[in-house]
Structures are given as C-alpha cells and as structure tokens.
Amino acid sequence: MDKPDFSNVITNSSSTNTTSGGNSWGNITAPYYFKGTLGGQSILWQVDPNSYNVDYAVGSASSISNDKGNESGALIATISAGQTMQPEFGVEFRTFQVNTSQDIHAYFNTFVNTGAWAFATSTSDLSSNAKTIVIDYTDAKGNQYWSVGPQTGNSITVVSVTQIPAGLGVNESLKIKLTFSCKLYPVTGSGNAITLSNVEATLRLEDMLY
C-alpha cells in the first residue's frame, strides 16, 4: 500500500500564529475548520463561507437503512478540498435509530449531545443503539483510513452543539465543535496507522433523516 500523501494537508497558514497543545497554526477566521497534527505535520483547513468549493468545503453524508419506517445508521459531517474532495476528513455520528412516525427533527436535534463520546470499536456498531463516533480520513491519493481499531489513551469530546435552521436548499443542521486525538488505521487492513492528535474542529452536520 502507498504511504499516505500529505502534500495537500499543510494549508491556510497565517503570518500571525497561535500555539495550542504544542502545535502552531495560523489564525482561525472561519466558522468551520479542522486543525491538528496528522502524521507529525500541523494542518489547518478553514472553510470560507463566501467561497465554498474553492479551497475547503463542509458537507454531510449518510449511511442509513430504512426497514419499514425504522431508520438506522450514521450521519457524517465532512470537510474536504473543495474541488477534488480529496483530502477529506469525516466524523461519523452513530447510531441513529428512529421511526419515521416519530418527530424526526426533534430526535436529530437531541442526538448529538455535548460531553465525552466513545470511538466505535467495530463496524457492527451500526446495528446497535450505541452512541459512538468514527473518524474517517482520505488522503490526496485516495487512500482511506478510519479510527476503527485500538484507541488506548485517546478520547473524543463534543464541546458544543448549535442548531441551525433550514435554509435555501439546505436542511436544518447542527454546528458541532469537537476535540480529539486518535489513531487512523488503513481501511484495507494493510499498512501503518497514522497518528492524528490535538484536533479541534467545528463542522456542520445536516439532518439527512427522512
């Protein structure tokens, strides 16, 4: 397997830097961003709300099954290179389990609560009602990694959740700030893990439950 490609991860630096957790980043000026240390290199991706899909963009995806009105699965908040969609980070919030006869919007708005979350330990978590998180990463060459694997000593915390009303062409959303460190393992099961540490991110999670 090819080594992860970090050629596009050091971006959006500023001449005036702030220091946190032993890392140096440029000033954060955007409402959505992802900063941390990936494989020993500092990264800062910022989403300019006035130029979506130019540098970096936020997005949402879902892995939802529907069995006679019973929906189960994950909703995913992403931040990625705006034009190529690679590299990309995703945060999967698991496991949504709701019936379409319920107030789905109220369920969505109360599912992601603040505080400590657990990393998912296997893909079988999607079939349970456990509230867990998976971190996904696709590098510039398309190599895929995720946090499913041993995470001894690592943690993830949802710092804040802000409800955002629906807008033109966009469902209601949650603006979620979180902090974490984790190991990222090749999805193929072959190759070395990457250390992702001292992450602080604010992402948008769109309501994709129906």
pLDDT of residue 18: 27
pLDDT higher than threshold 50 for residue 25: no
Q: How confident is the model at residue 26 (pLDDT cuts 50, 70, 90)?
A: low
pLDDT 10s digits, 126-144: 556 788 999 999 999 999 9
Which range among 16-20, 126-130, 144-148, 150-154 shows the weakest confidence by mean pLDDT?
16-20
Q: Which of 35-39, 57-61, 100-104 has the highest mean pLDDT?
A: 35-39
Across the strands, what pairs with 74? 63
CA atoms within 13 A on the CB side of 185: 13
Q: Residues 193, 178, 154, CA angle at the centre, nearest 5°?
A: 40
CB 174 within 8 A of CB 163: yes
CA atoms within 13 A on the CB side of 83: 3
pLDDT 10s digits, 6-17: 444 433 332 222
pLDDT 10s digits, 185-200: 999 999 999 999 999 9
Long-range contacts of 104-108 (CB under 8 A, 24+ apart): 104/207, 104/209, 104/210, 105/172, 105/207, 107/209, 108/172, 108/174, 108/207, 108/209
> What pTM was estimated for this model as a whole?
0.84
Instruction: State the distance between the two ends of the chain, measured CA to CA, in whole angstroms.
Output: 39
pLDDT higher than threshold 90 for residue 46: yes
Q: Of all helices (H) and strands (E), which one includes residue 174?
A: strand 173-186
Q: Which of 93-107, 111-125, 150-164 has the highest mean pLDDT?
A: 150-164
More confident residue, 72 or 112: 112
Q: How confident is the model at residue 81 (pLDDT cuts 50, 70, 90)?
A: confident
